[in-house]
Amino acid sequence: MTPQARSLTFEFMKGVWKENPVIAQLLGMCPVLAVTNEVKNGIAMSGAVFFVLTLSAVMISLVRKLIPPQVRIASYIVVVAAFVTIADLMLAAFFPAQSKALGPYVPLIVVNCIILGRMEAFASKNTLGRSVIDALGMSAGFAVALLLMCTVREILGAGTWLGVKVLGAGWFDPWVVMVLPPGAFFTLGVIIGVSNFIQKKGLGT
């Protein structure tokens, strides 16, 4: 494996589409299903994951030579937990309403497989610059998946997008089930099915 041979653009884009953490790798499903009933929750969650993933990647790739391999997973968890605490407190201070809506799902970023997976698979083996690009790509991929879910669920479930009425009140009856738990499972199932369908056809590499 020669990571230096790959371009930085590739490093970024793989997170967005080909190795999209949610749609292709099925990682970090809990927040994807839980907080996507409204677009603004999705934005807040993507922001928190972006913050934690990028800063943890910076930290881990800087100290990767100092951590003994036997205790590396435990060290990753402590580093990630520290950044998650910061994110949680910042969200509670600046956006109290969002923090309340997201509930325990912000602290749960600690055990999100996307973060630990990237630390183990990438940041611990690559230079600072590459790790940051990879983290940005993965966060972007996570945000894309999350926003896709929110958009579908909020438009169908409430007829609005980010609080703005999209589907007319006269003819459209909101499908309440889409903002409830079953809607999350249905939406993600269909999105994964469609993405598999596109990839089998060889479109959009």
Partner 1 sequence: MEVFIIFIWAVLINNFVLAQFLGICPFLGISNKLSSAVSMGMAVTFVMTMTAIVTWPLYHLILAPYKLEFLRIVSFILVIACLVQFVEMFIRKMSEALYDAMGIYLPLITTNCAILGFALLSVLKDFNYLESIIFGVGAGLGFTLALILMAGIREELEFADIPVCLKGAGITLLVAGILSLSFMGFAGLIRIS
Binding mask 8-37 for partner 1 (x = CB under 8 A): ------------------xx-xxx-xx---
Q: Indicate which single residue of 45, 46, 52, 88 sits in contact with partner 1 (rule: CB under 8 A).
A: 88
Task: For the CB of residue 199, give the shortest distance to partner 1 in the complex, in Å.
Answer: 9
Residue 184 contacts residue 33 (beta carbons within 8 Å): yes
Interface with partner 1 includes 82 (CB under 8 A)? yes
Binding mask 174-193 for partner 1 (x = CB under 8 A): ---x--xxxxxxx-xxx-xx
Residue 131 contacts residue 58 (beta carbons within 8 Å): yes
**Residue linked to tokens 């605490």:** 85
Interface with partner 1 includes 90 (CB under 8 A)? no
33 closest CA partner among 142, 192, 183, 140:
183
**Beta strand 164-165 pairing with 160-161:** antiparallel
Distance CA 160, CA 144 (A): 19
* Closer residue to partner 1 (CB): 47 or 128: 47
Task: For the CB of residue 181, give the shortest distance to partner 1 in the complex, in Å.
Answer: 5
* Closer residue to partner 1 (CB): 57 or 188: 188
The DSSP letter of residue 2 is: -
Residue 13 contacts residue 137 (beta carbons within 8 Å): yes
Six token digits for residue 196: 């598999």
Q: Which residues here bind partner 1, judged by CB under 8 A?
A: 26-27, 29-31, 33-34, 74, 77-78, 81-82, 84-85, 88-89, 103-104, 107-108, 110-113, 116, 177, 180-186, 188-190, 192-194, 196-197, 200
